[in-house]
Amino acid sequence: MKRFLFCISYNGSAYHGWQVQKNSLTVQHVVQDAIEKVTGFRNDVVACSRTDAGVHANNFFFHMDSDLKITPYNMRRAVSGYLPLDIEIKSVIEVDSSFHARYSAKSKEYIYKIWNSKIRNPFLNNLVWNYGRCLNLDRVKLAAKELIGEHDFTSFCSVKSDVKNKVRTLHNIEVLKDDSMVNFKLVGNGFLHNMVRIIVGTLVNVSEGLIDPMSVRDIINKKDRKAAGKTAPPYGLYLNNVTY
């Protein structure tokens, strides 16, 4: 039995997230359909993470086991032939049976893209958050520093989350501007449901003057979702990479 590690990228605009759901088209469902056409069997796949409806991925990883006599190179070519144009297999490698796409991960990196202009870019529709008010990046960066480190991120987690331990370590937040594009890059040992989107939404509220930059630590300490800002739209979010 071989264990294959897939790295894929996808445009999540047409999908209701990664994980299989009843009566909804998901990335996992489409990927498993393609793999089944190659292996003749509906292989279980184990993902590095989940993504919500409309969220994208530049480098998303999952592993699966198969006794099919096929090389990783030919596996990639064969499965790719059954995938739509908005999902691409970037690589397939064989890994040790002890490897786990989720639990072997050391850190994850997300990018959130904001098109910060009063003029919308139609070529970025569903790929960025079109935000027309000028972002005050000095205030945003000041507030972002308060989020770095190990914290209980309950205030920055969806109330629907059933995860009991909400302590995570946020290694770094970068805020990078290139013309009208503002990229938020977040690296951490793990992320809670909607955590990145709530952090970005809160930082936008800081820019708007609705939240004081130096009150972010108080928001963390309150451990209350209502204390934080709005949730940014899903379509600006990308799972950018996973470090193993």
* Residues classed as catalytic: 52
Q: Which long-range contacts (CB under 8 A, 24 or more apart) does 89-93 make?
A: 89/6, 89/7, 89/8, 90/7, 90/8, 90/9, 90/59, 91/6, 91/7, 92/4, 92/5, 92/6, 92/7, 93/4, 93/5
- Where are the alpha helices (H) located in 22-129, listed in sequence order? 27-39, 72-80
Encode burial over 185-198: b for 16+ CB neighbours within 10 A, e otherwise: ebbbebbbbbbbbb
